[in-house]
Structure 1
Amino acid sequence: MQNYRTKLGRLGDPEIRVNSLKHKREGQGKTAANIKKPRKAEVYYVPLPPKGESTESLETERVALLSEIKKRDNEAVIKAKMERTFSHRRLEIVEQRPMIRDFMNRWPALFKESEVNAEFLRITTKPLQAKFLAQLDNLTDKLMKILEGSKGAKGQKIKDIMAISSLKKGVQEPEDVGVVIEGTTVMNNLGSVIMAFIVLFGLIYALDLSYPNDLKYTFEFCQKILMNLDGQRLSTKMQQMKLKMFA
């Protein structure tokens, strides 16, 4: 296996390249340091570039995208160029870990609802919005019963939140709902809180972000139970949740 990986590295395989010693940051001069690998069931974590393309040609396509996004009714061209530059964009994200503001300047086309859905599909091979909403519809009643039965301080907190939510039924959504990452508003006018959450979930995959510590179980539920991404490996809490939901 080591020989196989060595040969792949010599051929320029991107997943091998990002973990080679010469691509590690200063102070991480060990092969085991800061290993970059799929952690959320990504099928295409660092994909190969399209046949016949190089880093230089894909960078030219990226620059062309900056002009195309300024044109009206140009979704088809943008979609094709985003598809073609997927490997280039993905390697940049995984290898360089750019700041969100800098990445938005380089890849503004990604920060559209349609492209977040497309990027999620490229990474996981699963549709984001359609599957998320369908699964949520299927499981909401069971989930609500479980939450209503929660006890202790956490259970009371859940009941308080649900009581507030019930009082707000029929109230219109806020005028503007968006997503903020690293203090930067990356998307707005998303229509509803649930759509903003779905987009945030998609952006976590698209930008290879870690789940926030205080919401890790929420996102694990979304990933492994709702979306069935790596659904066979669950934390103890999610195992208990799944048993309750599907008992």
Structure 2
Amino acid sequence: MGNYRTKLSRAGIKEVAMNAGKRSRSNPEGAASRANIKRPRRGEVNFLPNYPLGETKDTLETMRLEMVEQFKRTSIERDTVLIHQLMQRTFALRREEIVNSGPPIAELKDRWPGLFSEAQLYTEFHRITNQNLPHSFYAALDKYTPLLLKLYKKKKTGSFAEKMEEVIMAYNVQDKNNITAARTTALAGLPLYLKEDSSEVFKTCKDELEATQEGAVALVAVVDEAEVPAGVPFETHHVSIVLEDQVVMSHRSWTDSLVILFGLIYALHLSYPEKLSGFFEFIQVVLLNLDDGRKQLKPKLQSLRNELE
């Protein structure tokens, strides 16, 4: 396999070539063989593709600049078909920058504004994973929501049992025909069931200015104080999606904002928030079936998965 990978690297296959040049007998000054290894994660089927046939870095950069100019126009004046074509054509250049360099979010917003457009973000997720993110997410969530709510109601012991009971009580006074309320309850109760602290990621505030509060990764829901029973944002004015201390996108719905946040994590090659890693892995493996190749999940996730099957 080592010889095979060497041949692939020399042939210019980027997924292999980016990890070449590590320390070896013939290259004693190189980086350690296990240092800063770049590899696909979380079901990324198009992790680091080569440039399209006939294109170079310079030609793709020209396309990128043309795409940026489109986003400087008003939404009515933009040529959405052209933007889609340019985003598709420059996918390899974009992935090369994101995976190899990991630039700050502010720089990515300037260079690739399309990634912070909801439609283009979902298209980018499809390029990376070959999945329709909102369709797959909500289809699985609606399948598992009744089962999750039953499990939550059975949660009578443990350090999070009291908080879980408050969440269920808040849901019980909602309109049972409101599918959004059920979805929100299923997602908001999941960290409690997994014994994770969601307070640093899922936040609420009454003032829109507070939505810019610091946070590496956060969803900040702007609500009326009386509309946050048990901390579950059933009704929101809007939800701000925060990455690296700045609002990058916003949406009216809390559940839709969560889907967008998950898409951004993939598109920008980010790590899951440490304190909610189990929550996001549940979305990845159980809801979206994006298995990253691990033979076994963490015990608490595997136990929940078994309960739902």
Alignment TM-score, normalising by the size of structure 1: 0.91
SS in 2 for 1:126: coil
Corresponding residue for 2:115?
Answer: 110
SS in 2 for 1:186: strand
- Separation of aligned partners in 2, 1:54 and 1:155: 57
Which structure ranks higher in relative contact order (CA pairs < 8 Å, sequence separation ≥ 6)? 1
Corresponding residue for 1:197?
Answer: 258
- Separation of aligned partners in 1, 2:109 and 2:21: 28
Q: Deviations over 1:78-130 (max 9, x none)?
A: 11110111111011000001011111111111101101110110000011001
- Structure with bigger gyration radius: 2
Q: Deviations over 1:189-219 (max 9, x none)?
A: x120000000000000000111111111111
- Separation of aligned partners in 2, 1:36 and 1:149: 42
> Is 1:148–2:117 an aligned residue pair?
no
| TM-superposed deviation, 1:40 | 0.8
| TM-superposed deviation, 1:163 | 3.0
Q: Deviations over 1:25-75 (max 9, x none)?
A: xx9811210111112111111112211111111111111111122341411
Shift in CA distance, 158/206, structure 1 to aligned 2, threshold 3 Å? same
- Separation of aligned partners in 1, 2:13 and 2:144: 40
5+ residue gaps, structure 2, are 23-28, 179-226, 228-233
Q: Deviations over 1:147-186 (max 9, x none)?
A: 2222211222222233345556686732221210010111
Contact 1:149 1:155 in 2 (8 A): no
Corresponding residue for 1:161?
Answer: 167
Corresponding residue for 2:46?
Answer: 44
| TM-superposed deviation, 1:233 | 4.2
> Is 1:90–2:92 an aligned residue pair?
no
Corresponding residue for 1:239?
Answer: 302
Contact 2:71 2:78 in 1 (8 A): no
SS in 2 for 1:7: helix
Shift in CA distance, 166/101, structure 1 to aligned 2, threshold 3 Å? farther
Corresponding residue for 1:178?
Answer: 240
- Separation of aligned partners in 1, 2:172 and 2:245: 31
- Separation of aligned partners in 1, 2:127 and 2:147: 31
Higher percent of residues as helix: 1
SS in 1 for 2:239: coil
Contact 2:70 2:78 in 1 (8 A): no
Question: How many residues matched?
Answer: 241
Shift in CA distance, 28/223, structure 1 to aligned 2, threshold 3 Å? farther
Task: Name the amino acid aligned to 1:7.
Answer: K
Greater CA deviation, 35-44 or 200-209?
A: 35-44
- Give the RMSD, CA atoms, in angstroms: 2.0
> Is 1:220–2:222 an aligned residue pair?
no
Query: Taking every aligned residue pair, what percent have the same amino acid on both sides?
Result: 39
Contact 1:120 1:126 in 2 (8 A): yes
